[in-house]
Amino acid sequence: MEIYVYTSKAIWKRGREGTIKCGCGAELDFSLPLEFGGKAGVMTAEDAFVASINMSFATTFFSYAEKEKIDLIEFECDTNGILDRTAPKTMFKRLVIHPKITVGKYEDVEKVSKIVELSQKYSNICNSVKGKVVVEFKVDVQEKK
């Protein structure tokens, strides 16, 4: 077994607000989302959950891109999480990952398609969520002059 432990500490500040300290060193304020009576502009559990899927897909992609020596020019990825709060069970039903990738060589396009597939398959977080994860990607080529 290959086991890793990740930790965090949440501390209440006031009302529906707190501070969270992650094991990695990142520290930030959080609250309930605005639509559930929280404060605007700070992190929420719902945003962090969707962001964790996005970051996991992205970093897994970055690792494979490095390994496969992809000439990566740009990588942008929008991830949307659809939260269903229909009683009694509230949960994220669907997570849609939309990576847009620009590479410098035509021969990288096929490799990128393969890497997108592997990144979803081996993402620690994509494998840890109940909702359906869907990836819809786009690759562009921008050859250097």
Residues 69-98 interacting with a copy of itself (rule: CB under 8 A): 72, 74-86, 89-92
Q: Does 137 bind a copy of itself (CB under 8 A)?
A: no
User: Does position 52 bind a copy of itself by CB under 8 A?
Assistant: yes
Q: Which long-range contacts (CB under 8 A, 24 or more apart) does 122-130 make?
A: 122/60, 123/53, 123/56, 123/57, 123/60, 124/56, 124/60, 125/52, 125/53, 125/55, 125/56, 125/57, 126/53, 126/56, 126/57, 126/95, 129/53, 129/92, 129/95, 130/91, 130/92
Q: Is 60 exposed, middle or buried (0-12, 13-18, 19+ CB in 10 A)?
A: buried
The interface mask with a copy of itself, positions 10-49, x = CB under 8 A, is xxx--xxxx-x-xxxxx-x-xxxxxxxxx-xxxxxxxxxx
For a copy of itself, the closer of residues 113 and 127 by Cβ is: 127
Instruction: Please state the closest distance from residue 10 (CB atom) to a copy of itself, in A.
Output: 4
By CB under 8 A, tell whether 104 contacts a copy of itself. Answer: no
Task: By CB under 8 A, tell whether 7 contacts a copy of itself.
Answer: yes
119 binds a copy of itself (CB under 8 A): no
Size of site (CB under 8 A) for a copy of itself: 82
